[in-house]
Amino acid sequence: MIRLLRAFIAVDLSDELRDKVADIQSMFSDFKFKFVDPNIVHITMKFLGDVHEENIDEIAKALDSIEYDHFEANVKGIGVFPKPKYAKVIWVGCEGGFEGLHALIEDSLTSFDITPDMHKFNAHATLARVKYLPKKQKQDLIVLLDELKEVDLGTMQVTSIKLKKSILTPEGPVYETLHEVKLK
């Protein structure tokens, strides 16, 4: 029987930044958003989707071939996808060596049946998902986003990437690290 795992490659936020994520999320408490548990907020480097369980070891080996120096990342600026009037995702931006790391991750996965990202990579950590936003709250959200667009949560050292599986539960996703690749 073929087992599929919902998998992705991520950079975890530092504990210090997770505390600051919780503070930022609390600023959106007037909205009925679905907040990501601050303890599992991460920067998705590549969403793999449903992967055959027997391919996980080969994907891990492919990721082990990545040679990239660790780097300092700055986590700052609250934004949304796709745009403030029609927000579906609230995120915090991440600056550093993410684009180069993402390119190497993409290159390492070319021999697998994984669709390459078609959009320019935008390093971010999802804070909340917007299922519904009443018309009367749209302007409040736009004002708050404008206030937070330059907020600086701080820096962290990016020293590894992690291959994770996601188990969806009624209480929210549960993530398990399957493999970790240390950066140089």
**Which residues belong to the active site?**
42, 124
In the block, residue with structure tokens 């690749």: 181
Helix, coil or strand: residue 23: helix
- Half-sphere exposure of residue 102, counting CA atoms within 13 Å on the CB side? 21
Q: For residue 178, which of 167, 166, 163 has the smallest C-alpha distance?
A: 163
Q: For residue 158, which of 8, 10, 48 has the smallest C-alpha distance?
A: 10
In the block, residue with structure tokens 């999320």: 25
Structural contact between residues 141 and 86, judged by C-beta atoms closer than 8 angstroms: no
Between CA 45 and CA 31 the distance in angstroms is: 28
CA 100 to chain centre: 16
Q: What count of residues does the chain have?
A: 184
Give me the residues paired with residue 93 across strands.
Answer: 76, 124
